[in-house]
Amino acid sequence: MAIVSFGPLIDGARGSVGGVTFSMAGSGATARSRPRPPRPRTTDQVAAQSHMAQSAALWLALPIITQGQWAVYSQSITLYDSLGRAYKPTARQAFMWSYCIQASGGLTPNMTYPTGLGLAVIPTLTLTYSAPAMTLSAWAPAPNILSQFVIMIYYADKPHAFNRLPRLNMVAPLGSVGLPLTLAPNINGTWPNGTELRTWIGVRLIDENHRISTRLMQSKDFTAVVI
């Protein structure tokens, strides 16, 4: 069924009602005939499905006391659904969310419940383009040395409202890593010299208390310099 956001009038819908599917595209809200659900086709899609199944099974195997600790933590955080609406996750949702984020970032998931409350906070990141590489050159305040980042950088494209290209690279440095840190050794790709480009970087932080941040999406505009 559709997810509907209510305002003075309905101001957003996503999902399916009958034979109609509501979604968002770059040009705005769309409605189309309900598509046949596809099987996962990409490596990332198959992996995400696997992580969901693994996390669900592991949740059922947790001791009751540990599930209770996740329940306490879950009520200290606020997440957002696909329409941008805030909600409080259940203990199970919080556990699976944490597991899947770590697994999809190439980490060995730590199933320990967070020892602090709330979400982790990502420091302010400074991105620098020095042809042909894109680097993380500074962050403030400096993170705890035991914190863990998951940074995904996407192929550069002509500037537009939404990222439409696949992931180019992923790095998972600890807070103790030395800067500058190379995120992509060749962000230029095959674009000609002088092309105005934009790359997107997705960042999450897992802090020293095992708390996870929401995802920060940050863009960086640059002019390609072919060396």
pLDDT digits (tens, 9 = 90+) for 63-98: 999 999 999 999 999 998 877 889 999 999 999 999
Distance CA 11, CA 193 (A): 43
pTM above 0.75, yes or no: yes
| 124-223: in CATH 3.90.1150.10 | no
Q: Tokens at residue 156, please?
A: 């550069």
Annotated domain spans of the chain: 3-33, 43-104, 124-223
Q: Tokens 């002019």 belong to which residue? A: 223
Label residue 26 by pLDDT band (50, 70, 90): low
Distance CA 62, CA 157 (A): 44
pLDDT of residue 22: 72
Q: Is the pLDDT of residue 1 over 50?
A: no
> pLDDT for 132-150, tens place per residue?
999 999 999 999 999 999 9
Q: Is the pLDDT of residue 159 over 50?
A: yes
Q: Which of 101, 129, 111, 117 is nearest to 202 (CA)?
A: 101
